[in-house]
Amino acid sequence: MHIISICGGSGSGKTTFADKIRKSVDQEVSILHMDSYYLHKLPKDLKTTSGKPNFDHPDAFDWELLQDHIIALKSGKSVKSPHYDFKTNRRLITSSTIKATKVILFEGIFSLYQEEIRKLCDITAFLHVEADIRFIRRLHRDVEERGRSLDSVITQYYETVRPMYQKYLDPQRQYADFIVGEETDIAASILGAKVNQLIHAKPLKAVIAKKPKGKK
């Protein structure tokens, strides 16, 4: 079982990059989205200067559940990943089954933040995309998919997204095995080839020749 971690700021294209990798692999590969592990209710002290919840801070996530699920997947057990509603900012009672495939793609803004989880990952990548591109992508996503107003997205960007990226997100680059720029097609194909290699690799016992028996 191998876990590949894909880290990067909001709007850096983590989900798209993971999908590109999955499409280049010839067997089923599961994707674990860190966004599914937002806390049902954020801590009271996790507020912005204007008193709004700070969803871009590491403490906004359910680390205990996330780590438990990654450990389970690593050991070959499927998990029930929660659903999170970004329109109401609440965890739903429904969930999705994440199969324990030979390779798991784990993507999220803090996928390289916690040491205990980093140790469970076999390959780590960081998507480095310029701030203006990330902002535009986030703007379109939040307005079109999450029902937010233009002003609220801009306010959130300056209050939490930008400062949290500088303080917590960007430093995660030091833990990445490699850094990917804005053009992800080639990187995804290379990583996809590596995933295929991991999937089809024979167990060590199968490739070690048996020692010939001595003559009587």
- Across the chain, mean pLDDT equals 89
pLDDT tens track for 20-46: 999 988 889 999 999 999 999 888 889
208 in a structural domain: no
Residue 117: C-alpha distances to residues 36, 52, 100 (Å): 16, 29, 17
* pLDDT at site 206: 47
Cα–Cα dist 146/10, whole Å: 14
Name which residue leads in pLDDT, 106 or 181.
106
204 in a structural domain: no
* pLDDT at site 208: 47
CB 89 within 8 A of CB 16: no
* pLDDT at site 185: 87
Structure tokens at 167: 């303080």
User: What residue numbers bound the domain in which 24 lies?
Assistant: 2-199
* pLDDT at site 204: 53
* pLDDT at site 149: 85
* pLDDT at site 147: 80
Contacts of 191 (CB under 8 A, 6+ apart): 4, 21, 123, 125
Total domain count, the chain: 1
147 in a structural domain: yes
To the nearest whole percent, how much of the chain has pLDDT over 70? Answer: 93
205 in a structural domain: no
pLDDT tens track for 166-207: 999 999 999 999 999 877 888 999 888 988 888 887 765 544
Query: Rounded mean pLDDT of 67-83?
Result: 96
216 in a structural domain: no
Contacts of 204 (CB under 8 A, 6+ apart): none
DSSP helix/strand/coil, 198: helix
Structure tokens at 24: 């280049």
Cα–Cα dist 31/130, whole Å: 25
173 in a structural domain: yes
CATH code, domain carrying 183:
3.40.50.300
111 in a structural domain: yes
Alpha-helical regions (H) of the chain? 14-23, 63-74, 115-118, 131-144, 150-156, 162-164, 185-200, 204-207
* pLDDT at site 37: 97
Query: Rounded mean pLDDT of 113-137?
Result: 93
pLDDT tens track for 156-167: 889 999 999 999
Structure tokens at 120: 């469970």
102 in a structural domain: yes
